[in-house]
Amino acid sequence: HAKRAGTHSWTRYDPAMTDRRAEDATLTEDLQHALDRGELHVLYQPIVDITTGRTLGAEALLRWEHPARGFISPVRFIPLAERSGAIARIGLWVLEQALKVRPSGSYMSVNLSPRQLQDPTLVHDVLAVLHRTATSPSRLVLEITESALVDDTHAPTLQALREHGIRVAIDDFGTGYSSLQYLTRLPVDILKIDRAFVAELNGTPEGRAIAEAVIRLAQVLHLTTIAEGIETTDQALELQTLGCTRGQGYLYAKPLPAHALTEVSTAPDA
Ligand code: C2E
Ligand code: MG
Ligand code: MG
Ligand code: MG
């Protein structure tokens, strides 16, 4: 089973790769119009208190219903939107949709791409959306993947967002390259434990030990932990034992349309 990927001489003549590039180009082109044609919508996955099941907030997750190809995963199209720059407009649109439908008393968590962090008007744009939707900055969390945070140049932007009262979360923690030393310097408030670690919780002793170490580390650094991809009650119990009391996953709810989110978010406005 020869693994040949990675060399330019090979990829240049690979027909599958050529197809992929052609599809990339088509999808990138289609994405330019997707927003105006109403093909994009946002779903919301509840973030719950594991101990009570109460909904505390929700994560906004973008969906694209392509007229010819049907549902296309954000894992496929977000990188294309980043490369073309379309993510700037799409990302702010997601933020505005999410803050418009946020149930009162709960918070909204929105994914931010590294490309958006490079935009010099980002902080201004985010504050403008908060203003338009009459949202307190304390009701917004912005999620940034660990791999994006490895780039030190983002630190001042994250710090500026936090000074305005917006919280920042590291997404997919454990999948990037940041050293533990690095983590102690990151300007973040929340650590989201990648679902790969949650899946390992009741697997091997090593898997459990790694999840436990991440949760302990977050506690020492005074970060709130949120476990991603909780699918079983065993995982939820194990997380509770380890001191992680917030999470999201199919066990509680799949990503939902806005009206269904309101039904599960019954918390009174504090
Ligand atoms: P993410 O931010 O880590 O989002 C969590 C993903 O895990 C979502 O996939 C969600 O549907 C999925 N998930 C939730 N619970 C479970 C579970 O119990 N089991 C399993 N197997 N999966 C679960 P989704 O919606 O396909 O999004 C994939 C990624 O696309 C997101 O990962 C995020 O990185 C990116 N993304 C989605 N929407 C946006 C957006 O508006 N902006 C940006 N920049 N990225 C986005
Ligand atoms: Mg996320
Ligand atoms: Mg994640
Ligand atoms: Mg993820």
Task: Please name the residue that has the structure tokens 């980002």.
Answer: 122
- Contact partners, residue 5, CB within 8 Å, separation at least 6: 11
Q: Which of 92, 97, 228 is the best mutation target for the ligand 1 pocket, counting ligand atoms within 8 Å of the beta carbon and taking the most?
A: 228
Q: Are 9 and 222 in contact (CB under 8 A)?
A: no
Q: Residue 11's pLDDT is what?
A: 54
Q: Residue 150's pLDDT is what?
A: 74
What is the C-alpha separation between 37 and 264, in angstroms, rounded?
30
Q: Which atom of ligand 1 is nearest to the CA of 81?
A: 44
Q: Which of 200-217 are b and which e, b meaning 16 or more Cβ less than 10 Å from the residue's Cβ? A: bbeeeeebbebbbebbeb
pLDDT, one tens digit per residue, over 71-127 is 999 999 999 999 999 999 999 999 999 999 999 999 999 999 999 999 999 999 999
Task: Please name the residue that has the structure tokens 């034992």.
Answer: 241
Residue 74 amino acid letter = P
What is the C-alpha separation between 264 and 270, in angstroms, rounded?
17
pTM recorded for the entire structure: 0.92
- Any residues with Cβ below 6 Å from ligand 1, and which? 45, 60-62, 73-75, 78, 91, 94, 111, 113, 143, 171-172, 195, 228-231, 248-250, 255
Q: What stretches in the chain show pLDDT beneath 70?
A: 1-13, 177-179, 266-270
If you take atom 44 of ligand 1, which residue's CA is the nearest one?
113
